[in-house]
A and B are shown apart, each in its own frame.
Chain A
């Protein structure tokens, strides 16, 4: 276990450099060897840490960054299409198709369904295009109004007044087996021109 090079020349730090030959075996210099070995050990350890860290980083970064990528939506039914009378705008709710087990009530989603004529619809997200607050439909004045900053929209979803930079977000829709389906999932936002 003892170091064969550690002997008569005394303490290596006091020997003033690693140039003295080793008395036992005549090797070039014990300190140089030891420094080299320590340097190697340190680099070897660092490499091990690097490899281990890189592998461990996969699940860590994966967990933290995954939400940045996940953008999916799928078709979800709002019920029979004829439940939405022509010329009217009705409130509808659905369970978000990409909900997680722990979402609770937050998985419920609301939207406004406008039936322009039989078989022709517009489905609006409730989220105001300004900052996402829920807009409400007023059938009398045929306007959507937002409670936060006073954004207002006409019945076709186009911007009527206030700070919103655009009209209401719309979901793609289709009729399938007499049901009104919309393509939903992600929270509507400005970058997505749904």
Chain B
């Protein structure tokens, strides 16, 4: 009966003829566990579609109501919070899994002939998924989303000549508002998922056309002229059917990933929404989501002079380089041990992204905005000090120095820690530094009066470990040959301290 039904459908659709080769096609015997990451990425993508459709039935894509509707989903809809948690965690997991998949393909040089376009469609998928992650962050429509868009707009503004127009297209108008959210909603639920589904289909069709690549072996070089015929011969002889031989590993890995996802979502819950998207609430500290923290870190660490050029050109170069990978080397050795340069590049890229993500997470360049009012002055910097020095400690807090400078590890890290500043700078140098500032420090000369300045410097000169000498001007005590201008009155050389 069942087979009759199958036959009936098959006669009208050809579905079995289409699906059967997908299951039975031969894949390399030695692939083992290396090749499960692409399947897991696809699984997370499926979860995104299913949970995303559910969320779209609850979410109000209007700037006036989006934030409230998220709180409604979190707090009132049965298991709404879990739905959001699954969508958020699966989003991060998808980006991570995709990166691992890409890294594996890169290290094994699976992008070589005839799989160049497998790689290229994969690169487009990467950027589509990152765009989904960014537009998804906007869907949260909280303070991070609002100011994140502001950062995007500021970067667009730096494009020469057409910056304003590009910004207008990005935001859907001259300000971040209702049309901005609607625009990003259309991208997030229609345009980008549509593009992703199409690209996934193409990616899978290319896998069927070109076959799964074998594990790299030293000496087993790729020769475009003969590769395909030899690959097919080897699969015929030595391959195993995708189902069940390879599929079993995909199933186990995807199952484990799904269980982990459900646990993470249930334990840690949904991401945000953060503070309400009211731009007059400026007591905020905008941060991007995890996939973009490394970019946030990189932008922060760039020398300001190179910033615009790097922000505008680097993404284009990145796309071009990634797309070009299989065209720069599409033949020859695939084994990582024979491609040490490629292994080095991959390692450096991973380390750079990890380090920049950490920097972005901790963001030591950001002032601690309430450091001056919220952090205590460590007691041992106050005991035994003169009234003037204690007054200086007051100025130190009052003038927001603590927002950028730490004492005892508490305070901003934008400027150097000042626990031992008196061992490095003389009172005169301190005075000059505070009055005139430098590239990374404002000049306080106009903002503090001379009494405050004197007290502050007198406090700072006490900031040194007990057994370390105060700073002196190098060589100041030596009898220096002094060149005098004609008529100048001779003055005694200051001995480097008060």
A67 adjacent to B157 (CB under 8 Å): no
Residues from chain A with Cβ under 8 Å of B447 in the complex:
141-143, 154-155
Q: CB-defined interface of B270-301 with A at 8 Å, one 1/0 digit per residue?
A: 00000011111011111000000000000110
Q: Is the CB of B278 within 8 A of A130?
A: no
Interchain CB contact under 8 A, A68 and B437: no
In the complex, A177→B167 CA distance in Å?
Answer: 35
Judge if B62 is at the interface, Cβ distance under 8 Å: yes
Q: Is the C-beta of B146 less than 8 angstroms from some C-beta in chain A?
A: yes
- Which of A105-145 touch B at CB < 8 Å? 105-110, 126-127, 130-136, 138, 140-143, 145
Cβ of A174 under 8 Å from chain B: no
Chain B interface: which of A24-32, A79-87, A94-102?
A: A94-102
| Cβ–Cβ contact B366 & A149, under 8 A | yes
B178 touches A104 (CB 8 A): yes
Contact A141/B177 with A103-B63, A160-B443, A165-B304 known, Cβ cut-off 8 Å: no
Q: Chain B interface residue count: which class?
A: 35 or more
* A residues 24-78 touching B (CB-CB < 8 Å): 64-65, 67-73
**A162 an interface residue at 8 Å Cβ cutoff?**
yes
Contact of B442 (CB < 8 Å), options: A106, A135, A143: A143
Report the bound CA distance from A152 to B369 in whole Å. 12
User: What is the CA–CA distance of A138 and B150 in the complex, to the nearest angstrom?
Assistant: 23
List the B residue with the shortest CB-CB distance to A73.
B174
A154-B442 contact, Cβ under 8 Å, with A71-B164, A104-B64, A132-B154:
yes
Q: Does B182 contact A (CB under 8 A)?
A: yes
- CB–CB A187/B175 < 8 A: yes
Question: Is the CB–CB distance between B168 and A150 below 8 Å?
Answer: no
Chain B residues numbered 296-317 whose CB sits less than 8 Å from any CB in chain A: 299-300, 304, 307-308
For the complex, give the distance between the alpha carbons of A100 and B180 in Å. 11
Does B109 sit at the interface, judged by CB under 8 A? no
Q: Mark B152-172, 1 if CB is under 8 A from A, else 0.
A: 011101100001111111011
A23 in contact (CB, < 8 A)? no
Stretch from B39-47, B210-218, B341-349, B399-407 contacting the other chain? B399-407
CB <8 Å contact, B443 and A136: no
- B113 CB to closest chain A CB (Å) equals 39
- Chain B residue contacts of A187, Cβ below 8 A: 150, 153, 167, 171, 174-176
CA distance A186 to B367 in the complex (A): 28
Tell me if B153 and A148 are in contact (CB < 8 A).
no
Q: Does A70 lie within 8 Å of B173, measured CB to CB?
A: yes
Q: Which residue of B lies closest to A72 (CB)?
A: B174
A18 located at the interface, meaning its Cβ lies under 8 Å from any Cβ of chain B in the complex: no
Query: How many angstroms from the CA of A100 to the CA of B62 in the assembled complex?
Result: 11
Cα distance A191–B174 when bound, in Å? Answer: 13
- Complex CA gap A152/B299 in Å reads 17
A138 to B397, CA, bound (A): 12
A interface with B by C-beta (< 8 Å) = 64-65, 67-73, 91, 93, 96, 98-110, 126-127, 130-136, 138, 140-143, 145-150, 152, 154-155, 160-165, 185-187, 189-192
Q: Can you pick out 15 interface pairs between chain A and chain B where the beta carbons lie within 8 Å of each other?
A: A96-B177, A99-B177, A100-B173, A103-B178, A104-B63, A108-B278, A148-B151, A149-B299, A155-B447, A161-B437, A161-B438, A162-B440, A186-B175, A189-B163, A191-B163
